[in-house]
Structures are given as C-alpha cells and as structure tokens.
Amino acid sequence: MNKIYSVCWNITEKCNELCEFCYRTIVEDLYLEENKLIADKLIELGVEKITFAGGEPLLYKHLFELAKYIKSKKPDIILSITTNGLLIDDQIANSILKLFDWITLDLESTSIEFHKQVGRGERHLPKTIENLNRFNGKMYIKINTVATRQNINDIPFIWNIIQKFNIQRWKIFRYYPITYKAQDNQDYFAISDEEYENLKRKILQIAIDSQVQIDFNDYEEFRTTYFSIFPNGTLKDNSGNVTCNILNDSIDECFQSIDLSNHLLRKKSFEKFTHQKNN
C-alpha cells in the first residue's frame, strides 16, 4: 500500500474554549495503553509526522507520556501539538520543548473582543502573545487562523503580530461548516469564494518578501489531504467518512481505500520547507 506521511490525532475532544465555529465530534478518550497500541500501528506503518490536536490536547492527561513513548520508539518522528495555549505554564512549556518539534497556536484576530465574542475568551489573545514570546526561537511555530465573515477584514493585520516573532508557517483556513457548532452557525460565519480569494490576494501581497510559509486551506484541502484519528480510535477519510477503528482493525485496511495523491503533495511541500529552514 502507499505510505502515509502524516496524521492528525485528535487525542481528546475535551476543550476549555467554546468556539462558535468548532467542528469537533464529541466522543470519549481512550486509555493510555490503548493509545500506545495505536501509536505502535502508526510507527509500523511508517508515519513520519503526528500532530496532536483536539479539542484541547493538553486536557488529555497522558499526552506527554504518550509523546515520550512515541519518541522512544521512533526518535526521528516529527511531533506537533495544536493548542489554544491557555494551560501552558513554565512546566508544561518545558515538556513541550523536550518532546515536540512544532507548536501551532490559534489566532483569529488582533482584537480581544473578537476572541471573546466567538467563544475563545478574553484571555486568548494575550495568552497567545505570551506563548509566542515563550517559544520564540526555541522550536518551530505555526499560526492557524480561521477566516470567517466576522474577522475577514482584520486577518491581514495579524501579519503585524506574525512579523514580530520567528514564526515558520501561517495557515489560513476557510470556515468549514461541516459538523457541530460550525454547521449550526454557518449563516453567521460563512464566506463566499470571492471573499476568500480576495483575502488570499491581500495576504500574499503584504507578505510578498517574507520567509514565512503561508498556506491556504479551502474546502478541497479539508477533503483531500487530512487523515484524522479521533479519541475513540476511529479514522476518517478525505470526505469525513469513518473507514475503521485503528485500535481494533488492521491499519492496512484502514488506509487502503484512501486516495493519497494530494496527501503526498503536502509531504513534498513540507519537506521542501524543512530543507530550506535547515540549510
């Protein structure tokens, strides 16, 4: 079968924010030993990069034990964490620096009020700035931004924050009304094709000479490049359909029906980026 380069592992759906554009699926977490079995299968498959997300991955109490286990099995694997950062203190930051290669932080606006209105809370923006200062120059940093009707005009100003730090990547997701609150609130948040294309042009224009890698994630990228493992072990394919449960089923069977062409393009793009950064 074709090799899987990376997976997004939603290790828990618990969260300490209440984002109105959230599309998580509420299921129960697995025990540490069960997640170790999933990790063993991913390593055996040859996965090179695992991104822990959620929910809020720092709410999974065995996260660092699991990351340490994975690194002990495959020291060169790339581990990434996507977090809202609210729980990060000096102790947690040290654990992240020891075990993870990348950290992704969420930033939707330069306004505290906007983050409060959409459910992230008034602490989100200042805490993100605090964490950018904390990790700056110590590990790879990525910023995720969800583009909605409510923040689309402010997103270009996020560039003013990004320029102040040693940030490697900025990914701008088009609001995707697939499930949960995201589906319920699409009338409030959805943007048109034209609005998203205009945003892309503005961002690329202001960042034309920058070394930051800027990626745009439209509906097609959601459907064709991501493989997500959910807290109960289920795997969803490119279209959001459950293909199997990795804990209980053969991992070869889980991936055999998935078209990997666009997934491998992501791998080439990431390899090109890391090569440039290391030379």
Indicate the pTM of the whole model: 0.89
* CATH code of 186's domain: 3.20.20.70
In a domain, 73, yes or no: yes
pLDDT of residue 274: 52
Positive or negative torsion for Cα 188, 193, 195, 199: positive
In a domain, 266, yes or no: yes
In a domain, 1, yes or no: no
- Closest by alpha carbon to 95, among 65, 73, 70, 136? 65
Task: Give the separation between CA 57 and CA 103, rounded to whole angstroms.
Answer: 12
Name all contacts of 216-220 with Cβ < 8 Å and 24+ positions apart: 216/171, 216/172, 216/174, 217/171, 217/172, 217/173, 217/174, 218/174, 219/174, 219/176
Please report how many Cα atoms fall inside a 13 Å half-sphere around the Cα of residue 165, on the Cβ side.
25
pLDDT of residue 42: 92
- Closest by alpha carbon to 18, among 115, 113, 96, 91? 115
In a domain, 53, yes or no: yes
pLDDT (tens, 9 = 90+) of the chain, 279 residues, equals 456 788 889 999 999 988 777 776 778 899 999 999 999 999 998 899 999 998 999 999 999 999 999 999 999 999 999 999 999 999 999 999 999 999 999 999 999 998 998 888 999 999 999 999 999 999 999 999 999 989 999 999 999 999 999 999 999 998 876 554 555 667 778 889 999 999 999 999 999 889 999 999 886 665 555 678 889 998 876 566 777 899 998 877 777 766 666 655 555 555 545 544 444
Is the peptide bond between 137 and the residue preceding it cis, with omega within 30 degrees of 0? no
Task: Give the separation between CA 28 and CA 26, rounded to whole angstroms.
Answer: 7
In a domain, 257, yes or no: yes
In a domain, 170, yes or no: yes
Range of the domain at 166: 6-278
Specify burial of residue 272 (Cβ count, 10 A radius: 0-12, 13-18, 19+).
Answer: exposed
Identify the DSSP state of 110.
S
pLDDT of residue 1: 47
Domain count along the chain: 1
CB 104, CB 144: distance < 8 Å? yes
Q: What angle do CA 39, 44, 45 make, to 5 degrees?
A: 95
CB 103, CB 141: distance < 8 Å? yes
In a domain, 169, yes or no: yes
Q: Which runs of E-coded beta strand occur in 44-101?
A: 49-53, 78-83
Q: Which runs of E-coded beta strand occur in 123-223?
A: 140-147, 169-174, 213-217
pLDDT of residue 5: 83
